[in-house]
């Protein structure tokens, strides 16, 4: 009994220290996942904790379970608009992009490490795919707002590329251990099963769970447990049938998260904590598993391989994958840089160890070191590189908090709060003035909070800076409504990016040129601005896409819920060049 209590004490202590360490992580700009990994290493055999842990099978089980929860949570938070924006390029990156990365890195690793080509390729396959847990976690805590094309591409690629990586690792292990069975037909059938079953079962389970959430009545806290248990059942059963459980659980999360039911808000709240716990547990265990001194023995090898992966293999794979899609050079460069490696490569590196593959210790240690370097270098520079490459958008005005109140099974009202900014339109205004705009005439004030207490609202009431105003509003009006509460400095930043003037998407290029005396070179004056942007950026332009017309800048400012352009911004800089 004492042994069990000691285990509970150590586990709780490690999680407690990890939670406290997140404060230092935020201040130092260090990736949170690296903090968990560091705590695990400090508690390990060669750290201050002295805990000896070398059970690779247990670590693999914990890693698989945690990744399933993380991917489910990532799917829940992936908007279907991401598929409209970036499905095709993400699919190419998740298939051809992984293969190209593995081939390039495999050739280099074979020559550099002086190992058999199969082992070189296996090492490359282990670290060849981006990690969904790292991407979801670090992008959403980076503090920058990426343009939708880049964000959607990175999320979908990382959520869907595991089947290809697992297939390549499995095939190469088979070629090393059972070469007589590793024929093209067998490997091709593995790929079909992985992708086919993952897609079909993920779609079916997502639809079933979404419908079940809409019809079943449970205590609020049980909805997330229903989704989590259903997702884990899907993950395990898909794997047992030979499909990709990772792909299946991610797709199921997408369908569940995009269903509009009264249970979804409760699911989000609890799943956020479960995903955090999964990440912390997984990286703590992986930190306990590694031996720092052996990592240092292969530190130089890992450093060289990591730099080749980051600066050569990944960029070539991304550039060739996106060659026929309309991404800017800056967007391609950023997608190349955010090829984050995390728990997936370490989990894949455990497979050769448990199957007795020769030189598997070298593969594990190099893969682990590559992950640490990726988190340290790429993970800690996500926001810096985004600003450097100018793929960020200005902060978007949005509600402070959002709550849905369900009046019946199919009817809900949205309760949203807004903080009054300095020199905003809301400052010194009556709360009801904010709803006089015809666009917001459905809105109604619910409560006004000042210094933590409600304020009685009468005809003379005026809002002050830092007041919190709660309104009942249509859910899709919240961001536009929030602009009235934005501080003047935030508004100035937005105008500096988009321009001071708003343009209708249906305005003709010729009419715009006539109004401002612009010169058009090789541009059809009869086409609308929307048609011009679709011709330049493809079928789904995103906020931040920009075209220069005779020195003027026309920028996509706002999209509607169907990802259609709602407004453009017009900026009038120095008059110089023609359309560019």
- Specify the pLDDT at position 578: 44
* Listed residue (166, 171, 195) closest to 181, CA to CA: 171
Average pLDDT over residues 255-284: 82
Both structure tokens of 101:
């990365």
Sheet holding 401-406, edge to edge: 401-406, 412-419, 468-473, 444-450, 453-454
Both structure tokens of 30:
């260090």
- Specify the pLDDT at position 335: 94
Contact predicate 430/373, CB 8 Å: no
Both structure tokens of 67:
């990744």
Contact predicate 556/533, CB 8 Å: yes
For the stretch 202-215, pLDDT in tens is 999 999 999 898 88
Both structure tokens of 37:
């990994």
* Listed residue (454, 96, 101, 65) closest to 277, CA to CA: 65
For residue 470, pLDDT beyond 90: yes
For residue 337, pLDDT beyond 90: yes
* Listed residue (342, 303, 245) closest to 36, CA to CA: 342
Average pLDDT over residues 434-456: 90
Q: Positive or negative, the Cα torsion across 163, 153, 259, 530?
A: negative
* Cα 101 from Cα 103, distance rounded (Å): 6
pLDDT band at 577 (very low <50, low <70, confident <90, very high): very low
Q: Which fold has domain 401-489?
A: Alpha-Beta Plaits (3.30.70)
Q: Highest mean pLDDT range out of 27-31, 263-267, 291-295, 392-396?
A: 392-396
pLDDT band at 517 (very low <50, low <70, confident <90, very high): confident
Contact predicate 535/545, CB 8 Å: no
- Specify the pLDDT at position 576: 45
Contact predicate 487/422, CB 8 Å: yes
487 vs 15, higher pLDDT: 487
Distance set, CA 273 to CA 19, 132, 218, 535 (Å)? 12, 17, 19, 43
Q: For the CA atoms of 302, 374, 19, 387, what is the dihedral angle to 10 degrees? A: 160
Residues 6+ apart with CB under 8 A from 444: 435, 471, 472
Label each residue of 73-124 as H, E or C.
HHHHCCCCHHHHHHHHHHHHHHHHHHHHHHHHHHHHHHHHHCCCHHHHHHHH
Task: Write the DSSP string, 279-311.
Answer: HHHHHHHHHHH--HHHHHHTHHHHHHHHHHIII
For the stretch 421-442, pLDDT in tens is 988 999 999 999 999 888 888 8
Helices (H), 216-341: 222-240, 245-257, 264-289, 292-297, 299-308, 314-321, 329-337
Q: Which of 109-113, 135-139, 378-382, 554-558 has the lowest mean pLDDT?
A: 135-139
Question: Which residues on neighbouring strands pair with residue 324, listed in sequence order?
Answer: none
For the stretch 153-187, pLDDT in tens is 998 898 888 788 888 888 888 888 877 776 778 77
Both structure tokens of 169:
């690792």
Average pLDDT over residues 295-322: 88
Residue spans of the domains in the chain: they are 2-49+56-393, 401-489, 499-571
* Cα 76 from Cα 390, distance rounded (Å): 28
- The helix (run of H) or strand (run of E) holding residue 417 is strand 412-419
Contact predicate 342/372, CB 8 Å: no
What SS3 class is residue 353?
Answer: helix
Contact predicate 135/156, CB 8 Å: no
Both structure tokens of 167:
């297939």
Both structure tokens of 465:
């800076």
* Cα 26 from Cα 444, distance rounded (Å): 38
pLDDT band at 27 (very low <50, low <70, confident <90, very high): low
* Cα 268 from Cα 470, distance rounded (Å): 21
**527 φ/ψ sector (left φ>0, alpha ψ -120 to 50, else beta):** beta
pLDDT band at 238 (very low <50, low <70, confident <90, very high): very high
- Specify the pLDDT at position 580: 46
- Specify the pLDDT at position 532: 86
Measure the N-to-C terminal CA separation of the chain; round to a whole number of Å: 73
* Cα 302 from Cα 373, distance rounded (Å): 8
* Cα 477 from Cα 437, distance rounded (Å): 12
Both structure tokens of 8:
């509970």
What SS3 class is residue 450?
Answer: strand
For residue 232, pLDDT beyond 90: yes
* Listed residue (539, 551, 545, 555) closest to 576, CA to CA: 551
* Cα 517 from Cα 501, distance rounded (Å): 16
Average pLDDT over residues 247-269: 85
Contact predicate 12/18, CB 8 Å: no
* Listed residue (421, 431, 469) closest to 448, CA to CA: 469
Distance set, CA 308 to CA 305, 312, 321, 340, 532 (Å)? 5, 5, 18, 14, 39
For the stretch 273-288, pLDDT in tens is 888 888 878 888 888 8
Both structure tokens of 250:
């991610």
For residue 553, pLDDT beyond 90: no
* Domain 499-571 = CATH 3.40.640.10: no
Mean pLDDT of the chain: 84
Kind of pairing between the strands at 552-559 and 468-473? unpaired
Q: Which fold has domain 2-49+56-393?
A: Na+/H+ antiporter like fold (1.20.1530)
For residue 289, pLDDT beyond 90: no
**Residue linked to tokens 């789904």:** 540
Other beta carbons within 10 Å of 522: 6
């Amino acid at each position: 009994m004492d042994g069990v209590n000691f285990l509970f004490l150590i586990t709780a202590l490690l999680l407690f220290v990890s939670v406290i360490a997140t404060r230092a992580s935020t201040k130092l700009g260090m990736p949170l996942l690296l903090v968990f990994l560091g705590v695990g290493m400090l508690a390990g055999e060669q750290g201050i904790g002295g805990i000896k842990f070398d059970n690779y099978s247990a670590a693999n089980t914990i890693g698989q379970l945690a990744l399933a929860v993380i991917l489910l949570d990532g799917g829940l938070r992936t908007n279907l608009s991401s598929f409209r924006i970036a499905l095709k390029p993400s699919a190419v990156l998740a298939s051809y992009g992984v293969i190209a990365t593995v081939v390039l890195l495999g050739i280099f690793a074979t020559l550099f490490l002086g190992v058999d080509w199969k082992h070189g390729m296996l090492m490359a396959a282990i670290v060849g795919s981006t990690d969904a847990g790292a991407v979801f976690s670090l992008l959403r805590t980076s503090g920058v707002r990426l343009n939708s094309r880049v964000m959607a591409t990175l999320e979908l690629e990382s959520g869907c590329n595991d089947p290809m990586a697992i297939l390549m690792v499995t095939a190469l292990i088979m070629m090393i251990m059972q070469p007589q069975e590793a024929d093209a037909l067998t490997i091709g059938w593995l790929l079909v099963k992985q992708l086919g079953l993952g897609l079909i079962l993920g779609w079916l389970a997502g639809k079933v769970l979404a419908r079940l959430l809409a019809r079943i009545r449970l205590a609020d806290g049980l909805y997330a447990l229903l989704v989590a248990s259903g997702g884990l059942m899907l993950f395990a059963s898909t794997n047992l049938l030979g499909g990709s459980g990772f792909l299946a659980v991610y797709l199921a999360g997408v369908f569940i998260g995009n269903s509009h039911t009264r249970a979804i808000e409760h699911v989000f709240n609890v799943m956020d904590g479960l995903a955090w716990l999964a990440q912390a547990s997984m990286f703590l265990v992986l930190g306990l598993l590694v031996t720092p001194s052996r990592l240092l023995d292969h530190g130089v090898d890992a450093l060289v391989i990591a730099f080749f992966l980051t600066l050569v293999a990944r960029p070539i794979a991304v550039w060739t994958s996106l060659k026929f899609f309309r991404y800017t050079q800056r967007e391609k460069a950023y997608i190349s840089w955010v090829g984050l490696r995390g728990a997936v490569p370490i989990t894949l590196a455990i497979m050769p160890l448990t199957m007795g593959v020769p030189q598997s210790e070298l593969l594990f240690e190099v893969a682990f070191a590559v992950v640490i370097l990726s988190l340290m270098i790429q993970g800690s520079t996500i926001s810096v590189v985004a600003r450097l490459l100018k793929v960020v958008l200005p902060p978007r005005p949005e509600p402070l908090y959002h709550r849905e109140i369900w009046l019946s099974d199919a009817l809900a009202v949205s309760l949203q709060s807004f903080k009054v900014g300095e020199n905003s339109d809301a400052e010194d205004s009556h709360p009801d003035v904010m709803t006089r705009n015809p666009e917001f005439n459905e809105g109604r004030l619910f409560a006004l909070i000042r210094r933590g207490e409600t304020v009685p609202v009468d005809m003379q009431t005026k809002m002050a800076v830092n007041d919190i105003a709660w309104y009942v509003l249509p859910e899709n009006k919240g961001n536009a409504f929030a602009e009235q509460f934005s501080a003047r400095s935030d508004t100035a930043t937005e105008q500096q990016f988009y321009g001071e003037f708003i343009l209708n998407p249906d305005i003709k290029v010729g009419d715009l040129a006539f109004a401002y005396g612009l010169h058009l070179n090789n541009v059809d004056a009869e086409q609308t601005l929307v048609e011009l942007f679709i011709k330049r950026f493809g079928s789904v332009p995103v906020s931040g896409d920009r075209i220069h017309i005779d020195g003027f800048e026309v920028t996509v400012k706002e999209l509607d819920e169907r990802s259609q352009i709602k407004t453009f911004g017009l900026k009038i800089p120095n008059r110089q060049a023609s359309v560019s």
